[in-house]
Amino acid sequence: MPRVDLVVVAAYMLLLLSVGVRFRRGQTTTGSYFVANRSIPGWAAGISLLATIITSVTFIAFPGAAYAGNWNLLVPGIVLLVVLAAIGPFIVPFFRHVVSMSAYEYFEQRFGPGVRMYASFAFAAGHFAKMGFVFYLLALSLAGITGLSVAPLLIALGVVAIAYTFIGGLRAVIWTDVVQGFLLWTGIAVTLAALLLSSHVHAADLLQRIAAYHKTSLGSFRFNLAQPTVWTLALYGFFFYLQKYTADQTVVQRYLAARTDREALRGAVLGGVLCLPVWTAFMLIGSLLWAFYALSGIALPASIARADQVFPWFIVTELPAGAGGLILAALCGAAMSMLASDLNCLALVLVEDFYGHFFPRHTDAQRLRFGKAAVVLCGLLAITVALALTHTHALALALYYTATAIVAGGLAGLFLLAFLAPRAGVHAAIAGIAANLVFTAYASSTLNGGKLLNLGRYNYPWHEYTIGAIGNLLLLAVGLAAAAIFPARKVASAHTLWNWLLHRRQSHLSAIHLGETP
């Protein structure tokens, strides 16, 4: 790489660390360290949500998926807008009034501390896997560009992420996310300009070839859950984002950090709406790369064995000095934004849902020290997961979707049971969780023809992307059946959708009455 590119990347990493140092003061309570004392503007919370969702999985794996096939894996992103429109106006203010810092406080209010700790553990397990993918993809990309080994890069990048998260708390995480959001769009614009204005091939020829080979197709609309059709991806996307916006601490934390209910809702909507054009842009980059190497006569080297590696190679060989560094800085920043957010929220979960439960008499200062130590521990575990992933050779995005479909914990179904069924108590929740765990173990062991456990015609017949969705539906169905047979002794209507709607209607009527009173 040209030296100027490395200087740009190094300068950006120093900028991230400097923001952490800038906000180190004032991190004296768990409220300031984990939810920024509910002082963040809504627009900043929204851009932070964008930067948290857009990771190196997007930056490298989305172009790789489009290069190798079509835009089929964009379908879950489209479904995000449907989920956000359906639940956003209810869920955002609900959480702000029901929980203080942890999203899983709600499950304890409905079903007791055991269910709360199960939900916290399921969330943590899924996010450790996600952090591992982010570390892995970032190191893989940088290794291909710089020629350095993957393992040392994983360790070095992990240390940087741990450092600025440890120092600055959530306030530093959010404001570095804002910087990253603007850099992200700059990197997209530079890449698209380099492809469409290339001297090797005309833009019109690139677009015509993409259209001729249907590279922007969303895939088959046949209803076949055994294949990654539009319906399979839509089912996956619906439950993935339902879970993300109702039972994902990283998202709920953004609701809680905003100044007011209205700003929190605006931030949630802004973050979701901004994601789709970013995903689309990266899919377009992948399709353009496919057409570029097909038409330009430029051959890819034999060392490019996976589609995920094509975009990094293009950055090295086709972008002018400085521009490549800008995109690499955006790539590193995308990974760091998500990692910092996850490290902070995982530490919060460990403090609030486990440490606070087992050691309730400890002071806030002791809880804060434990939380900061948890940031370091979670970061080291994420590096370990990433090092393990270096031994796989499958497409990263497909692996990521499979992992998130399986390691879901049924949290979306558990939330729906708590939110919609006032008669559901701890027995209904446990019955649903047990059914989900048994099903997930069966499906993940017998899928793909029973590679782990072959039960013949009783193997799981559908695509692995459907496991999480069906597990959530099964949890809800079994929980509702158990609630009907063994209803809770005391109907818990205080923290359900129906009570919230009644409360909102009464507040609206009161506001009208006060407005008419002289």
* Digit-coded pLDDT (tens) for 192-249: 999 999 889 999 999 999 999 999 999 899 999 888 899 999 999 999 899 989 999 9
User: HSE (CB half, 13 Å, CA atoms) of 447?
Assistant: 18
Q: Is 40 left (phi over 0), alpha (psi -120 to 50) or beta?
A: beta
SS3 category, 219? coil
The reported pLDDT for the residue numbered 325 is 81
Sign of dihedral through CA atoms 404, 406, 412, 418?
Answer: negative
Dihedral Cα 469, 472, 474, 479, nearest 10 deg = -170
Cα–Cα distance, 181 to 274 (Å, whole number): 10
CATH of 3-396, one of 1.20.1730.10, 3.40.50.980, 2.170.130.10, 3.30.70.120: 1.20.1730.10
Tokens of 196: 């469409």
Residue type, 444: S
Residue ranges, the chain, pLDDT below 50: 394, 516-518
Q: Specify burial of residue 319 (Cβ count, 10 A radius: 0-12, 13-18, 19+).
A: buried
Closest CA to 186 of 329, 336, 339, 61: 329
pLDDT given at position 230: 94
Domain boundaries, the chain: 3-396, 408-518
Instruction: For residue range 312-365, list pLDDT tens digits in order.
Output: 888 878 888 778 788 888 877 777 777 888 889 999 999 999 888 888 888 889
pLDDT digits (tens, 9 = 90+) for 145-176: 666 677 777 777 778 888 888 888 888 889 88
Residues 478/432, Cβ–Cβ less than 8 Å? yes
**Residue 106, both tokens:** 């709600």
Distance (Å, whole) CA 435 – CA 400: 24
CA 155 to chain centre: 22
Task: Centre a 10 Å sphere on the Cβ of residue 492 and count the other Cβ atoms it contains.
Answer: 18
Predicted local distance difference test score (pLDDT) of residue 517: 44
Can you give 457-480 as a three-state secondary structure string? HHCCCCCHHHHHHHHHHHHHHHHH
- Angle (CA) 245 17 53, round 5°: 20
Q: What is the DSSP letter of 410?
A: T
The alpha carbon torsion through 455, 458, 462, 467 (nearest 10 deg) reads -80
Distance in angstroms (rounded) separating the CA atoms of residues 252 and 400: 22
The per-residue pLDDT for 125 is 79
Report the C-alpha gap between 141 and 312 in whole angstroms.
Answer: 6
The pTM score is: 0.85
Mean pLDDT, the chain, integer: 85
Cα–Cα distances in angstroms (integers) from residue 302 to residues 309, 311, 351, in the given order: 11, 15, 49
Query: How wide is the angle at C-alpha 36 spanned by C-alphas 35 and 37, nearest 5°?
Result: 90
> What integer pLDDT is reported at residue 405 of this predicted model?
53
Among 393, 316, 299, 264, which Cα is nearest to 143's? 316
**Tokens read off for 269:** 């909507």
AA identity, residue 353:
D
DSSP string, 114-135: HHHHHHHHHHHHHHHHHHHHHH
Predicted confidence at residue 60, as pLDDT, reads 77
CA distance 255 to 234: 25
